[in-house]
Structure 1
Amino acid sequence: MGKGGQGNEVEGENMAAWLVAKDTLKIMPFKLPPLGPYDVRVRMKAVGICGSDVHYLKEMRIAHFVVKEPMVIGHECAGVIEEVGAGVTQLAAGDRVALEPGISCWRCRHCKGGRYNLCADMKFFATPPYHGSLADQIVHPADLCFKLPDNVSLEEGAMCEPLSVGVHACRRAEVGPEKGVLIMGAGPIGLVTMLSARAFGAPRIVVADVDEHRLSVARSLGADATVVVSAAEGDLAAEVERIQAAMGDGGGGEIDVTLDCAGFSKSMSTALEATRPGGRVCLVGMGCNQMTVPLTSAAIREVDVVGIFRYKDTWPLCIEFLRSGKVDVKPLITHRFGFSQKEVEDAFEVSARGRDAIKVMFNL
């Protein structure tokens, strides 16, 4: 699992952005592994910053994943193939590709059953101890590199990774043309989940968030209605009523599916209470590890609760959504940076600050 180089190449060296300590990223040489028969070497062209990248930078850990030694950051990526292994037949040098960042074992029960995202031996970009893709070049399995159509840019290709979360969530939640959908949270994942729900045919989508600016972005991207909520538990009943009314306005429908893209006790409680009897709630966001939620109330209304972990088999559909225009991720890319030491530091600062930054993208 290697990665690596362009504008920063020093005397032919492949350079990468290494997380070396809290709040410290350094562009340093990154040695690529040998090219295996079924691998490709890819020159990175577009790499996005994810909230998890920022979290690792600030805390050096996420849950039980702890950064114990310097690690190359980044996992939302696309690039151009420079070299292919002897056994690779479906790709060639010069192909533009989007990369799926997780390498599963393909031997365990989960992999054999098609749920490879649950593989315990997953090697995932920029998840300790595995290096990521914010580098000049990387080496990656060819079957995890997906060729981009001519009308899909490399930046859009990199956006397939966050979009995949939304697509996988919509599959798990069984979103479709007869389902009114509520999205809790209008951050980057909430927005791609909203775009995915529309592509899956949801006729009416309501988005709730604590931040009016984020809700204005959701409206600009096609939300049918938005509701400002608070973080206070005491406001739950009144907010559920307002959210249900927003779903009814002009649609006459109930909330069939709620996708909680925030992942806090309050957002999940709202999701469970707002969803109709017999509906479904999908927990997407991971705002906290433990929640106190009204499960009994949801259970007696037979509200199904499912969760997601990353995604599986999503890149072909994401690319088709982008190719066909069913999903437009371009408005989500709000900031762009090059690949120098200062720009890497500035980009992560902008991403961490949030505010008007939705997706911060590196152009290598």
Structure 2
Amino acid sequence: MIHLRQIRAFLRTPLGRFALFLLLFFIIVNGGVFKKKPQEKSEIVEREGATVATHSRFVHPISPPSSKQTTPPPSLEHVEPRRNVSAGTGLSAPVIPRSPPSPIPMAIFDAADSLPAPTRPQQYLPFGRLIRCELINTVDTSNMLTPIIGLVTDDVWQEGALIVPAGTEVHGIASNQPERERIGTNNHWMLVFHDGRELGISGMALDHAPIPDENRWEISDGSAGLRGNIIPSDRYAETKAVSAAMLAAAADGLIENVQFYGQYGGTTIRRIPGWRTALAAGIERGAQLISQRLLEKGDPFFVRVPAGTTFYLYVTQTVDLQQATIAGSKALVPSEHSLHLPASPKS
């Protein structure tokens, strides 16, 4: 037989300690499993026999499902409504079940059937055509919106139909910000036909620069804007500025100065007081101010396009003659197509 002393000696060895650890671990694990099984079994029994819920009460007991059951399930009419118990009063208020929201009404239709099919116009001018015109009024750059009035010089045809006859009036607005010797134009133009019909179109003016007596054009032909001449606002402005600068220098020479030498080699220049010095200083200051104002003038030049200048009207839309009507400018939106001129001030 194994004595108690031998068992103690075995447990003190590393192997004995490991065996003791395994034995304790086995006891703890099996003990937890054995304790959970009866509790789970009791819970299952309670669930099978339960017929009353915490917040709802059923009149008929619920039997476990069976394949041979033929009785229908209880209807919702036998179910009592759920009640909320308020704290402290013990009274319960019925909870009204919420009905699902009604669907949002939607109108679904096929838009393809309601839209009319695009029709091809009978008389039209495609996008990007050039209409050659001649200016009949002189255009100058200024702060005012100068009108551009021209006449079509050549007939414009499309597929054997005369679209824009020669002599048709074109009306536009000049830009007040010239670029070099060019005057820009507004994008909205108005065509006035011989019979009084009006048609608003979008386009821009391009330079027409043919070489006389030759079937060639200059390199600037087709460039943007109306080409004109640069004219100085005051042709004698530079002469006046130079004369004022010379007068200022001459007045500075009339001022009498005296030079003093210091004890340590320094020099000091002082003006001799008197009427002659004061008059010369005043003339010098006035001449400098005049010269500065002449040179810093904001608009020393402006651009002028004389009447008779030819140009192209580059069309940036399809011109449909069916849209040309009598008094057609009334139907246009003023901010987009109407040609507005500033009202003259009342005297």
Bin of the TM-score, shorter chain as denominator length: under 0.3
What TM-score do the two structures reach when normalised by structure 2?
0.21
Higher radius of gyration, 1 or 2: 2
What TM-score do the two structures reach when normalised by structure 1?
0.20
